[in-house]
Structures are given as structure tokens and as C-alpha cells.
Amino acid sequence: MSERVKRPSLGRGLAVLFGEAGSQSTAERPITRQVPIEAIRPSALQPRRIFSEAELDELAQSIRDKGILQPLLVRPVANDDDEAEYELVAGERRWRAAQRAALHEVPVVVRTLADLEALEIALVENLQREDLSALEEAEAYNRLMREFGRNQANVAEAVGKSRSHVANTVRLLSLPTQVRNLLETGSLSAGHARALLALPDPAPAAAEIVRRGLNVRATEALVRREVAKPRTMKARAPQPVDADTASLEYELSDELGIRVTIARKGNGGALTLHYADLDQLDRLLALLRGR
């Protein structure tokens, strides 16, 4: 039977790579070197998609005044000219701001990393620094669980969040596309979006929230009223769900990022996966196929 190497906690591994762990001797700490800024390229593995122009300008001014206080983490990559070139693993915001500050060289720590290692570090670095939007954060947690076999407790410990925070954030991915778009553009906050998760069809309520400019507390009240409305469909009332089944439904919903229902019948039953749009279906199929 092959042995599996026990991996360090995500946050601890990031600290070691940057030489911040107290157990390291001076000789063991990574060496920082200066490399030309044009020799560094961004990574397709970067989980962050949105960079605030105002924040980049502010950081660029700070770099002009004080320089780059923490080196970028890069990995060596080959190019067609056989010249030294590096790919960013952590620090793209600093790299972009350094370009605006007209720096010719930047401090880096170079590490040889596989794609999965680089992706894991990039995700954790952004999560620990709280540099991600709510949806980027949700996607990052989802990727850590899907691609690295982490569970919610592992992820929560690694990034210093509660398990419930991780679970509720991942559930944002179950919102329909139009609601996620409102969240991405800032029309809705993460607090608004979490409240909307209680509705089977949150899109109409989301539109009303934006139209009326409701705050999170008013949104929660609106959702409670919607949930309390009697159903107009003349369907047979569903049988009450026992505590064990409800717990399993909740666990599966958190893991998959969509609503899951279980209906028992004798020794068997049915497990139903509910998706709100084609994007959710695509993510679910990719997850089931192990991609």
C-alpha cells in the first residue's frame, strides 16, 4: 500500500513558504531576490478576478513611498527564449501596483511548485488577506473542497473562519445567475444574499431589494414574510421530515452548494438535487464527474 504524505495545514504552509514560521532558523528561511518586473507573469490559477482601480492606485503610492514590504511568491516557468521567467503564486495585487509605481525590479521568493500546490497557496493567501469578493470567496472554498479533498472544517481552520461561515458562503453559489450578478456588481451585499437563500426562488425578492434599496435587516424581514405566505398550489402537504433526514439534507446541500431533498419510501426513496439555472447544473455535473 502506498504511503501518503501528511500535508500541513494550509495557513501554516503559507507562513513557511514566506519564512514567517517561528520554528525556522535564519539559515532555513527563504532568500528574497530582486527580479525584473517584466520577467513575472500573472497566473491563470489566480482566484481573484476583480482588482479595484482606486485600491491599486493607493497601493502604488504606498510602494513609491515605502517600497514593497513583503516579497511576491513566484515559481519558475520555461519560455520560448530559455530566459528566466516567473509565474505569480501570491502577490498579484502588489505586482500590479508596482507596475503603476514604475518599479523596474520587485522582491520575490522563488519556489518550485506543482499546479495544485500553487493553486492552493493562491487561494489561501487571498482568503487570509480577505481580498476576495463574497462570490470569489465562495468559489475559493468550493475549489479547496472539490480539488484538494478538504472538508468544511479543514478549510475553516486553515483560513481562520468558522465552519458556519464557510458553509453559508459556499451556499451563495446555489443562487441563480441573476442574483449572483447583483452580488458581483455590488448591488447586493453578502448579507442580502445569505438572507435570500431561504427562498425557493430568490430572484423576484432580489429585484425588489435593489429597487427599494433595502438594507440587510429589512431584507431578512421581507424573506420571513415570503416564507410565511401560504402556498397557493393545491398539492398534498408533504410529510414531515425526521431530524436525521433533515440533517443529512443540510449536510449534502452545504457540500454540493445546491438544495438537496430526500424522500424516504419503505427501505428506499429518492434523493433530489435542485438546480436554479444551467450554470449550477454545469458545476454539479463537473463535481459528479470528478473534474
- Tally Cβ neighbours within 10 Å of residue 163: 15
Distance (Å, whole) CA 180 – CA 186? 10
Query: Catalytic one among 92, 120, 125, 139?
Result: 92
Distance (Å, whole) CA 267 – CA 152? 30
DSSP at 264: E
Query: Hey, what's the torsion of the CAs at 41, 47, 49, 51, to 10 degrees?
Result: -70
Is 92 part of the annotated catalytic residue set?
yes
Buried b (16+ CB within 10 A) or exposed e, 11-38: bebbbbbbeeeeeeeeeeebeeeebebe
Distance (Å, whole) CA 128 – CA 160? 7
Q: Phi and psi at residue 162, in whole multiples of 5°?
A: -80, 155
Return the active site residues.
92
